Structure 1
Amino acid sequence: MKIKNFLVYLGLLLPATGSAQRPADLANPLVNTVKPRFDFFAAASLPYGMVALGPDTHHGDLWNAGYRYNDPYILNFSHVHNTQTAGIPVMPVVGPCKALQGLQASKCRLSHKGEVAKPGYHKLLLEDYGITAELTASQRTGFHRYTFPAAKEAHVIMDLTAALGPVKMLWGYARKKSNREIEGYSLMAPTFRRKKNCTVYFVARFSKPFDKLSFWGASATDSTAQELVNGTLTSDRKAGVYASYYNLKKGAQVLLQVGISFVSMENARMNLDKEMPDADFEKAVARAKQAWNDYLGRIEVSGGTRKQQVKFYTDLMHTAIGRRISEDVNGQYIDNTGPVSIVRNVPLTSKGAPAWHFMDADGLWGTQWNLNILWSMVYPDYGNDLAQTFLSYYRNAGVLARESWGGALCYVMVGDQTTPLLAALMQTGQSRFNKEEALAGAYKNAFPGGIRDRAGYEAGNKPGGGGIDWYLQYGYVPYEISSRGDGFHRGGTAMTLEYAYQDWCIAQMARSMGKNEVYGPFMKRAGYWRNVYDPSSGYMRPKDTLGHWLKPFDPVATANSGGFATPGFIESNAAIYSYYVPQDIKALIQARGGAASFIENLEARFKSATGTGFAAEHGAHGWAWVDYDNQPGCHMAHLFSHAGAPWKTQYWVRQVKELTFGDTTVSAGYRGDEDQGQMGALSALMALGLFDVQGLADVGPSLEITSPVFSKIVFHLPNNKTFQIRTRVPAAGVDDTYIQSVLLNGKLWNRFEFPFSRFANGGTMNIALGPEPNKAWGTRK
């Protein structure tokens, strides 16, 4: 298409749909809440806020707990919804108080009549009690507004030792501070992932003086029973408190503000006083909504369908709820890495605010294909918070962390997952951490004595399940690692592939810093993927210490090999991990028979997976040929471009976007484990039409172009510049799957990727879309 005609074509602008609504009006926290993770639902919350205030309908698990939309009853409202931390449940009731009988005794039928759930606000009717509950939050404080019916007696219950989500409580404490205020704490027991105790402190401030305040503790004769305690405090293995009000008139309101801290009750009070300076609920809701609009509004979209806009902003919302700050307003946080807890301090800015946030954060396994890209593009402040958190462990505990819960080192999944994030932030010019320290931490992790010693969840003093010593000895992690160490995910072939990519990331960091003595050896290690590639089968294949290939071998699970993962792999199989060479896709394509063969085989996999929505059932990953329910294969649809067929990437990315991530109902939207916003980030990138198989970790990184679903996208960049993408189709209703031509800053662009620096410096991209592939576009080297 000639430039003149292209510009005329772009000038046929269509009115944008939904342009009057702000992003927070479009995001829907209820999407995919039928069977969510405990940390998944967070309406009354701020982006990355310590407090995630919401209703709980089920406890006892991580992957199927918290707020489940189809459950019959609400058990409580609680303030902490993290993967491994929970706490401070509240339940308002009318009638006789049954607090001592446990959460189930005070449950209320869950009604969706009149329910409102938006980022920063949640409203529910507690139908059995006639109470309207409204919730909002600041970063470290929850705010409840309960509107009561006429009632002879009403109570607000806080069961401080009730088990919440995946967390059990060891001890509870509460004391009366005034006729409107209670303070205390809950001591969380260790979990499978978080091996140490963790305490959440609170200060609860009521708008209306109590008519009576009652405490309970454990029975002296029955460890499972609870009994009322005389006095103004309780401290016990079973402990709680409830505030009572009598002869309430219809419409009476009780406002409750709960500040929390992982450091102390004094800090919880400080957080409350600082963040909730008054008891104006509407102002608090407005502040929360504005915070979400500020976050979501960094990317403005128009055009597409309303459903696509709702899903996009819901996806972006998810990227800000999977990890949460854990330092207080004064910068203090708990370090639980040693034998005793230590209070440490995040540096403060000139305005007295924390210079960065110490995070409670699940691992970064697989984030090179979702969050790392999005953070580097638009949200580097949040990416740097994670980087600084994990680097603080290197400074204080000697190891660059891969997970943080309750201020303690945790060992979720495998490898050194932080290094790809550090590399991406460095190569995109977005890093705000000490690069020398980052390289030193990543370097240490790549040898015995670092984090790669440990397999998943391996926390002992003599770890061996990570196999980094064998990786260095053999050039791969042998199959026998499955019987070594006491951790999980001991899949040697998968470890080899992930370590090789992480080694390449270290090499890129070193190269950008001029450290050739590090660059050379790690580039050699980045090629270790070849040591587990079996040319005779065309797959990555487990190998033992003698160099023998595992027999029998199948690329996907069979009746005898198990469905969660096949031997040698981690939550996946050879069929998917055989594409796990992001550091050298060209070499992988050649090893697997060249471009034509590579494309043919990859497309066959996608065609076979269409009926399953390109996703395995969670926990059945070993059976899948394509699996967008889990991290190892999140880049596969983008590989066609690297083999010379970008039109096939455009087609299959669009198919995955619609079938796997396109729904906005309460029962679908992410096809399984959303996993801390990773799938939300991937879905958002697909909608935007941008990606990078290498995770932006290479020196001079590029962004790959696919077909956006919106007619206009405006990125508000960290340097106060903007990058705009505009797309047009020949006529309304015409299929817009395929890229016909691209103008980058007014000039024709015929490559499927463009330098990240062009994006970061601001500019425009105009994309003409159509119903038929233009096989000439995007193939220029």
Structure 2
Amino acid sequence: MRSSTFRIAFLFCLLPLLSFQGKPDPQPVDLVYPMLDAANSRWLYFSSATRPFGMVNLSPDHEIDGAWNSGYRYDADTIKGFSHIHAWQLSGVSVMPVSYTDAPEKLIGDYYSAYSHEKETVKAGYHKVFLDRYGIEAELTASHRVGMHRYRYPKGNQAGILFHLGGNLGPSAMVDGQLKQTGKRKLEGQVTNSPTSRRPKPITVHFQVEFDQDIESLTSHDSMPHIIVGFGESQGKLLQMKVSLSYTHPDNATENMMTELPHWDFDRVAADTREVWNDLLSRIEIEGNTETQQKRFYTDLWKALQGRRTISDVNGAYPDHTGDTFRIGQLPLNDEGKPLFRHFNSDSFWGAQWTIAVLWALVYPDIAEEFANSFIQYYKDGGLIPRGPSGGNYTYVMTGASSTPFFVGLYQKGIRNFDMATAYEGLKKNHLPGGMMSKSGYEHQTANGGNVEDYISKGYVPYPNPKGRFGGHEQGAGQTLEYSFQDWTLAQLSRALGKQADEALFLSRSAHYKNVYDAQSGWMRPKDENGRWMDPYDPYDYGKGFVEANGAQFTWFVPHDLPGLADLMGGKEKAAAKLNRQFEEAEKLGFTSGTSHAVETHPEYRRIPVNYGNQPSMQMAYVFNYLGRPDLTQYWSRKVLDKAFSALTPHLGYNGDEDQGLMGSLAVLMKLGIFQMNAGTEENPLYELGSPIFDKAVIRLHPDYYTGETFTIQAANNRPDHFYIKSKAFNGAEVKGIGIRHEALVNGGILQLEMGTEP
């Protein structure tokens, strides 16, 4: 493997060609608004002191009990610690600076502090707060695997730092907390994330701590798993602390610190982290629209590079929980002894076919390739390509073989610097009994909830599952639709690799979606094991045969054969009219089931026919492109952006489940006016056009993957009410059809659009 591809894995240094020549002011990183939707935050959502996909994601916590409604919550007024890990089913290493004049042990059971936003500064890679109770100014930043703290204590008080070593912390309970002094200014410790219903095995976080002042005392309490590290009376001098992490061994935590952060220059770390973010964000340059919409765009792009976290060390060691016993794995190294890629913790790729799979492959192919290699490593270790692994565990989050479109899209776009033979072996296994299609959500011990056997033999997944209940999301009609699409994408890869028998098998299975279409009602409809339609059936009722959606939404989940779906509905004209009515109805609720994932099942929201707050509806505005009505794609995509993805406040943002970059990626693609219905999984994939919101957007193409330098979208006469494309040309030639093919686009050039108020 070429080491340049994976330069991101080591120091996250990016090629100079990908950065702006003469950077604008403000720079993209300065437009990021980290507070977006922070009032609705869940444990893994909020980010400040972190790098892209960093092992460390350091920020204040207001709520520490549970994976939902936890972590940083904008409307809260009390800080309960600064923790270093906010990831899918992972947490760890929470600390709290304290000052005191009395016995420090009194604080161990009561150490929270009030604070206010008036004395808070949050930027990409940096967070500052003032703890009112203690009079302490706290600043946070981070390298990839090391958190750095800078505290200013009030003069005259004793200065200390409390380590939270037990009890609830986000998604899991911390157990076996340990902390010991290893030098005048050094500590070593560990905490273990207990198993959860989603992550079935524990995972230990090892950490090393260094201070720039001598430790004077360690104070603990027999009944509380917390320790206060004391530094004596403060003279107003800044106290700095570095905390490095490892999921494998304390020595690797030491190596992570020595490699990434051997110095004590806090401002330098913050500046370096800012520059890392800016280099990635600068791969897309935008002009036009309002400053608010430019800020929202770069915040969306920032979110697209968030949430999924590194779990491997700088030397390539990583935690492997895919087998019966824990082991420390080792990633392959290049000739210089550095890992060829990082290993990742990742929430589900469910819905990624319309979001990160498309955005990463076009703008961040180096990152996409790393994730492919990481997922293949899971297969080599545990025998399955995961849907969403946590702490080296398989979690079996959500349903289907959601990683398949991701891999197939990479291959079709020429991103192939991974073991394709092994990947294909693992992908095919996932589509057969015993693979991912056999498991429903969080089904750890069995392989029955996915019921791929009935899908194969009957042509659909019955609802309810005749085998019983084994996991979450056992929603047969929705599973049938997912499997059909994923089978079609695997058939495309089979064709590309010359595997004709597999191509025929999976292409045949991809038509199974037709078996859950009820011509009488005009909707996708669940069937039981005897082939009887669900009766009574309400296509607007949430979660009755469909995963996190209703039948009205999921009826359009046929991204691989929309013409075939239209034929079932009586033709494209009738299909377009039906879908248009759904959008008209959904507009009354702003196209989302409320303003957060927590309320989407409420009676007033669950019946919405289009929901841009969750993954199953993400493609619906672009379906019109395939029904002969690109004007309606342009119209409704703009309407959705305005209602669902334009806010720039702590209380609004994604109106649902952002899921580690999925919503951010979708918003970026829609605002650029490009989309891929099938995740770009056909030969020479098509980028369909929507309605861009900016006058100009320049995508700087990665030179290791694509021959062109830039792809530019120019939208002349673009205004808020100018939804429609009146004319389109690429490199001077008229564009016919609904989009541009991948090979042409990545050779570089200019797409010129003339926008107007009429179709």
TM-score range, shorter chain: over 0.9
Match of 2:368 in 1: 383
**TM-aligned CA distance change 1:473 to 1:124, over 3 Å:** same
Match of 1:646 in 2: 630
Match of 1:517 in 2: 501
Q: In structure 2, give the amino acid aligned to 1:740.
A: K
Aligned equivalents of 1:483, 1:113: Cα separation in 2? 57
Matched, 1:593 2:570: yes
Aligned equivalents of 1:122, 1:368: Cα separation in 2? 33
Alignment of 1:194-213 (within 5 A): 194-213=199-218
Aligned equivalents of 1:311, 1:376: Cα separation in 2? 22
How far the C-alpha of 1:242 sits from its partner, in A, is: 1.9
**TM-aligned CA distance change 1:103 to 1:499, over 3 Å:** farther
How far the C-alpha of 1:241 sits from its partner, in A, is: 2.5
TM-score (normalizing by structure 2): 0.93
Unmatched segments (≥5 aa) in structure 2: 1-22
Matched, 1:762 2:748: yes
Matched, 1:145 2:145: no
Match of 2:476 in 1: 492
Identity within the alignment, %? 37
Match of 2:310 in 1: 325
- Is the CA contact (8 Å cut-off) linking 2:148 and 2:242 kept in structure 1? yes
- The match for 2:125 among 100, 120, 124 is 120
How far the C-alpha of 1:182 sits from its partner, in A, is: 0.4
**TM-aligned CA distance change 1:733 to 1:441, over 3 Å:** closer
Deviations 1:706-733 (A, max 9, x none): 1211122111112263333343444x86
Alignment of 1:449-460 (within 5 A): 449-460=434-445
Matched, 1:316 2:301: yes
Q: In structure 1, give the amino acid aligned to 2:304.
A: T
Alignment of 1:726-737 (within 5 A): 726-730=713-717, 735-737=721-723
**TM-aligned CA distance change 1:89 to 1:510, over 3 Å:** same
- Is the CA contact (8 Å cut-off) linking 1:476 and 1:531 kept in structure 2? yes
Matched, 1:711 2:698: no
Unmatched segments (≥5 aa) in structure 1: 1-17, 220-224, 227-237, 558-562, 774-781
Aligned equivalents of 1:338, 1:136: Cα separation in 2? 35
Match of 2:14 in 1: none
**TM-aligned CA distance change 1:734 to 1:42, over 3 Å:** closer
Match of 1:58 in 2: 63
Matched, 1:40 2:36: no
Matched, 1:339 2:324: yes
Aligned equivalents of 1:704, 1:266: Cα separation in 2? 50
Aligned equivalents of 1:698, 1:614: Cα separation in 2? 30
**TM-aligned CA distance change 1:586 to 1:283, over 3 Å:** same
**TM-aligned CA distance change 1:130 to 1:649, over 3 Å:** same
Q: In structure 2, give the amino acid aligned to 1:602.
A: L
- The match for 2:553 among 576, 584, 593 is 576
Match of 2:7 in 1: none
Alignment of 1:174-193 (within 5 A): 174-193=179-198
Matched, 1:71 2:76: yes
**TM-aligned CA distance change 1:98 to 1:754, over 3 Å:** farther
**TM-aligned CA distance change 1:544 to 1:743, over 3 Å:** same
Q: Secondary structure at the match of 2:464?
A: helix
Aligned equivalents of 1:275, 1:94: Cα separation in 2? 30
Matched, 1:675 2:659: yes
- Is the CA contact (8 Å cut-off) linking 1:27 and 1:119 kept in structure 2? yes
Alignment of 1:164-563 (within 5 A): 164-216=169-221, 219=222, 225-226=223-224, 238=225, 240-250=226-236, 252-460=237-445, 462-481=446-465, 484-557=468-541, 563=542
Match of 1:725 in 2: 712
Aligned equivalents of 2:99, 2:382: Cα separation in 1? 50
Q: In structure 2, give the amino acid aligned to 1:322.
A: G
Q: Secondary structure at the match of 1:308?
A: helix
How far the C-alpha of 1:401 sits from its partner, in A, is: 1.4
Aligned equivalents of 1:608, 1:515: Cα separation in 2? 45
Aligned equivalents of 1:728, 1:755: Cα separation in 2? 19
Aligned equivalents of 2:558, 2:33: Cα separation in 1? 36
Match of 1:610 in 2: 587
Q: In structure 1, give the amino acid aligned to 2:245.
A: I
- Is the CA contact (8 Å cut-off) linking 1:194 and 1:405 kept in structure 2? yes
Aligned equivalents of 1:243, 1:356: Cα separation in 2? 37
**TM-aligned CA distance change 1:522 to 1:100, over 3 Å:** farther
Number of equivalences: 727
How far the C-alpha of 1:278 sits from its partner, in A, is: 0.4
Match of 1:230 in 2: none
**TM-aligned CA distance change 1:177 to 1:764, over 3 Å:** same
- Is the CA contact (8 Å cut-off) linking 1:346 and 1:354 kept in structure 2? yes
Match of 1:130 in 2: 135
Aligned equivalents of 2:611, 2:489: Cα separation in 1? 25
Q: In structure 2, give the amino acid aligned to 1:201.
A: H
Aligned equivalents of 1:49, 1:281: Cα separation in 2? 18
Aligned equivalents of 1:760, 1:552: Cα separation in 2? 50
Q: Secondary structure at the match of 1:718?
A: coil
How far the C-alpha of 1:352 sits from its partner, in A, is: 3.3
Q: In structure 1, give the amino acid aligned to 2:432.
A: F
How far the C-alpha of 1:132 sits from its partner, in A, is: 1.1
Match of 2:96 in 1: 91
Q: Secondary structure at the match of 1:623?
A: coil
- Is the CA contact (8 Å cut-off) linking 2:585 and 2:608 kept in structure 1? no
Aligned equivalents of 1:116, 1:46: Cα separation in 2? 17
**TM-aligned CA distance change 1:331 to 1:279, over 3 Å:** same
- Is the CA contact (8 Å cut-off) linking 2:466 and 2:529 kept in structure 1? no
Alignment RMSD? 1.7
Q: In structure 2, give the amino acid aligned to 1:606.
A: F
